[in-house]
């Protein structure tokens, strides 16, 4: 009602890309890449998530306010992970009792 | 409504008085839905955070569990969910074009794919039950070194996929409501907001699975 209708071709292309990336993530997990297995899996998941958010959820054409809310949500997630990991990663740096 | 009184402003039937126009009304709905989805993101974020902490503490134990996950079913279910997101977006498109029959067909298709996902999930849960991989008194693990630590992963597995499955069931219920509304001609080309909003919810649940699949099934598949 506010945007022109998206051609089926666009949705089909996104669908195809998502399927291809799913196959890629399974294939990459079978390779021995050490730490990069996790990096590769998460990179692919983020690309897939971004495709869904931008095209299927139509955030690319949403209002600035909606984009701000989406961005704020992701920023808060980043706070959660950065603070939690900085806590656990830095434990043991100082002398003292360890509880785990 | 007192539409007959000449003093009332004339507007589209589905436009509420406190909005300037349909576009503004639609944008407000989208914004509200996204605020809800962000709370959902925070909700799942807590579990993803817990997962991150324990995977960092016990990387080897977590990696050892991938051997017992049903990767083919997990991968097929990922495809099924992506396919259902595609049919959902096609349903929204049909609503935009005012194609009632196509809309209903795509909604039913989406619902069926959701049921396929849940059925495959049931098969996996049953497999875990048979293998004694349900955390608790009956838990058994091949590698006894990781008995306690692997149990944490299986606890997270059931908490996260279970919460995801509950969201799928709720989504399926809402799809039934949409199908019934569409059949009763509640949607027009000018107003199909519920289809669009449930679509956003459905895609969100899809994204959660996109992250759950590599994190729960493919941790240590190379080993």
Dump pLDDT digits (tens) for B178-222: 999 999 999 999 899 999 999 999 999 999 999 999 999 998 865
Residue A81 is nearest to which of B26, B49, B203, comparing CB atoms? B49
CA distance B160 to A55: 26
User: Do A5 and A53 have their domain in common?
Assistant: yes
3-class DSSP assignment, residue B122: helix
Expressed as residue numbers, the domain containing B198 is 36-217
Q: How many domains does chain B have?
A: 1
**Taking CB atoms and an 8 Å limit, are A37 and B222 in contact across chains?**
yes
Domain that holds residue A30: 1-61
Asked whether residue B204 is domain-assigned, the answer is yes
Q: Which two tokens stand for residue A11?
A: 């949705």
Give the separation between CA A51 and CA A55, rounded to whole angstroms.
Answer: 6
| Residue A70, pLDDT score | 97
Looking at the domain assignment, is residue A1 inside a domain? yes
Please report whether residue A98 resides in a domain: no
Size of interface A-B (CB pairs under 8 A): 136
Map B62-87 to HEC letters: HHHHHHHCCHHHHHHHHHHHHHHHHH
Over residues B105-129, the pLDDT tens digits come to: 999 999 999 999 999 999 999 999 9
Picking from B176, B187, B155, B205, the residue whose alpha carbon sits closest to that of residue B51 is: B155
Same domain, A24 and A68: no
Identify the CATH number of the domain in which residue B151 sits. Answer: 1.20.120.80
Note whether A34 and A4 are same-domain residues: yes
Answer yes or no: do A22 and A45 share one domain: yes
Same domain, A12 and A41: yes
Check A80 against B53: CB less than 8 A apart. Answer: no
* pLDDT value at residue B223: 45
Measured between beta carbons, which residues in chain B are less than 8 angstroms from residue A85? 52, 56
- Together in a domain, A42 and A1: yes
């Amino acid at each position: 009602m506010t945007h022109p209708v998206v051609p089926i071709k666009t949705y089909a292309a996104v669908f195809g890309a998502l399927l291809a990336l799913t196959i890629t993530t399974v294939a990459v997990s079978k390779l021995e890449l050490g730490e990069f297995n996790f990096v590769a899996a998460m990179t692919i998941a983020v690309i897939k998530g971004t495709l869904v958010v931008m095209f299927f959820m139509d955030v690319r054409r949403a209002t600035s306010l909606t984009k701000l809310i989406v961005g704020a949500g992701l920023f808060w997630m980043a706070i959660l992970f950065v603070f939690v990991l900085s806590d656990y990663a830095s434990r043991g740096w100082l002398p003292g009792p360890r509880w785990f | 409504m007192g539409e007959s009184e000449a003093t009332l402003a004339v507007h589209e039937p589905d436009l509420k008085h406190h909005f300037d126009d349909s576009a503004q009304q639609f944008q407000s709905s989208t914004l509200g839905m996204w605020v809800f989805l962000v709370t959902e993101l925070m909700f799942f974020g807590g579990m993803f955070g817990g997962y991150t902490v324990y995977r960092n503490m016990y990387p080897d134990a977590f990696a050892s569990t991938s051997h017992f996950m049903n990767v083919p079913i997990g991968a097929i279910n990922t495809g099924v969910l992506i396919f259902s997101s595609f049919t959902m977006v096609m349903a929204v498109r049909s609503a935009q074009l005012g194609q009632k029959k196509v809309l209903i067909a795509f909604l039913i298709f989406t619902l069926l794919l959701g049921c396929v996902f849940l059925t495959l999930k049931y098969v996996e849960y049953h497999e875990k039950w048979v293998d004694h991989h349900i955390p608790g008194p009956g838990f058994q693990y091949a590698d006894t070194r990781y008995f306690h630590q692997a149990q944490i992963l299986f606890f997270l597995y059931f908490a996260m996929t279970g919460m995801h499955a509950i969201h799928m069931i709720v989504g399926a219920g809402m799809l039934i409501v949409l199908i019934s509304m569409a059949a009763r001609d509640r949607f027009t080309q000018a107003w199909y907001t519920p289809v669009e909003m449930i679509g956003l919810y459905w895609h969100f649940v899809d994204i959660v699975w996109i992250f759950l699949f590599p994190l729960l099934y493919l941790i240590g598949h190379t080993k």
